[in-house]
Amino acid sequence: MDLKWLKEWGDDALRVIFPKVCEVCGRSLTRGEELLCMHCYLDMPRTRLHQEQFNVIHQRLAGKAPIDRATGYFYYYRDSDYARLIQNAKYKNRPIIIEQLARMYVKELKSDKFFDDIDVIVPVPMHWFKKLRRGYNQSEILANALSDATGIKVCKSLVAKRGHKTQTRKGHFERWLNTKDLYDVKDASQLKGKHVLVVDDVITTGATILACCEAIHSQSPSTRISVLTLSVTHLQ
Ligand SMILES: [Zn+2]
């Protein structure tokens, strides 16, 4: 028996009792909408960086680490409604936002073959103490969601050797100093000769991802590295 109508009726009833709202504008979501209403979904400041061979992410990492492909879903303008997506996911205990954004992004990237020949997804690690305090590492949530949507496995071979102070108000050089030698690779053989996709929720100056790439390359020079983030900060 086809019970699809029953499920749809149940979903509609639930929506009336517990209305889901758009994370950007607060409007009630209708059937088929997830996380964002159609208007905010279409209005999202997408970067489309995966369509550029040498883009702003390559530039931020240029000359310091050879990066194959690099992309980020949308531009992050401080205090913008879309930046709030990342802030809520990270600081307000809403990791589900990361999962939903990852699913949406994979759908858009798949047709451009972004994930072709990527062997393994590597999340930017978080020091264990910080993870204990927050309850989760948003980059791991992202890596797992990307893995579910693409079938590419996750490898947690990068580790954070120590905690580092928040980077929010630091300049380029300070960020670089703050992250230098911060990461290490355990069991580099897992990455040898592979094409890895390093993932993080946001890229700002690129210091964090650069430090990860340097750690991978120093222990496994044959590894090819690509980068994916959900948001890309606009630098002044
Ligand atoms: Zn909206």
pLDDT tens for 152-197 read 999 999 999 876 656 555 666 666 666 667 899 998 999 999 999 9
**pLDDT tens-digit series, residues 6-16:** 777 776 666 66
Residue 226 has pLDDT above 70, yes or no: yes
CA of 43 to the centre of ligand 1 (A): 9
Q: Give 193-214 pLDDT, tens digit per residue.
A: 999 999 999 999 898 999 999 9
pTM tops 0.75: yes
Can you tell me the distance from the alpha carbon of 98 to that of 78, in angstroms, rounded to the nearest whole number? 18
Model confidence at 81: pLDDT above 70? yes
pLDDT band with cut points at 50, 70 and 90 for residue 55: very high
CB 202 within 8 A of CB 43: no
Counting runs of H as helices and runs of E as strands, what totals does the chain give?
9, 7
What integer pLDDT is reported at residue 182 of this predicted model? 87
DSSP H/E element including 131:
helix 128-134
**pLDDT value at position 50?**
95
What is the band of 4 on the pLDDT scale with cuts at 50, 70, 90?
Answer: confident
What's the CA-to-centroid distance between 39 and ligand 1, angstroms?
6
How far does the centroid of ligand 1 lie from the alpha carbon of residue 121, in Å? 31
H or E element that contains 225: strand 224-233
In order of start, what are the domains of the chain with their CATH numbers? 1-43 (no CATH), 45-233 (3.40.50.2020)
The band of 129, judged by pLDDT with boundaries at 50, 70 and 90, is confident
Quote the percentage of the chain above a pLDDT of 90.
67
- According to the model, what pLDDT value does residue 18 have? 59
Residue 178: the pLDDT is 63
Q: Residue 35 C-alpha to ligand 1 middle, in angstroms? A: 9
What's the average model confidence in pLDDT over 32-36?
92
Virtual torsion, Cα 108, 109, 113, 119, nearest 10 deg: -140
Mean pLDDT of all residues in 106-126? 94
The amino acid that residue 25 corresponds to is C
d(CA 40, ligand 1 centre) in Å: 4
- pLDDT interval class at 65 (50, 70, 90): confident
Cα 58 to ligand 1 centroid, rounded to whole Å: 31
Judge contact between 205 and 178, C-beta under 8 A. Answer: no
Token digits of residue 106:
């994979």
Rounded CA-CA distance 236/176 in Å is 18
Q: Yes or no: say if 62 and 210 are a contact pair by the CB < 8 Å rule.
A: no
User: pLDDT tier at 111 (50, 70, 90 boundaries)?
Assistant: confident
